[in-house]
A and B are shown apart, each in its own frame.
Chain A
Amino acid sequence: MEGKEKKIKITPIEHGTVIDHIKKGQGMKVLRILDLVDREIDSIVSMAMNVNSSMGKKDIVKVEGKELKNEEFDKISLISPNATVNIIRDYEVIKKHRVGLPDFAKGIVRCKNSNCITNQSEPVETEFEVTGEDPVKLRCTYCDREMTGEEISENVI
Chain B
Amino acid sequence: MSSEFKKNHVVAIDDFTVDEIRTILDLAEEMTPIVEGKKINKDFEGKILATLFFEPSTRTRLSFEAAMKRMGGRCIGFARPGTSSAKKGESLADTIRVAAGYADMIVLRHPQEGAAQLASKFSDVPVINAGDGAGHHPTQTLLDLFTIRKEKGSISDNHIGIAGDLKYGRTVHSLTKALSMFETEMTFISPPSLRMPKEIIDMLKRKGVKFQEVKNIEETLSNLDILYMTRIQRERFPSDEDYKKVARSYHLEREMLENSKDDLKVMHPLPRVDEIKADVDETPKARYFEQAANGVPTRMALLKLLQEV
Contact = CB atoms under 8 A, between A and B. Distances in A.
A117 B92 contact: yes
Given A122-B91, A123-B93, A117 B117 contact: yes
Interface string A113-157: 101111011111000000000000000111111000000000000
B117 A122 contact: no
Contacts of A113: 113
B151 to A, nearest CB: 30
A145 B114 CA distance: 10
Given A115-B112, A115-B134, A141 B117 contact: yes
Size class of the A contact interface (CB-based, 8 Å):
10 to 19
Size class of the B contact interface (CB-based, 8 Å):
10 to 19
Nearest to A140: B114
B92 to A, nearest CB: 6
A140 B135 CA distance: 12
A45 to B, nearest CB: 35
A117 B115 contact: yes
Interface in B283-299: none
Contacts of A143: 113-114, 117, 132-133, 135
Contacts of A118: 114, 118
Contacts of A116: 112-114
Given A117-B117, A122-B118, A144-B113, 7 more contacts: A111-B114, A117-B112, A120-B112, A121-B89, A123-B93, A124-B121, A143-B114
Interface of B: 89, 91-93, 110-115, 117-118, 121, 132-135
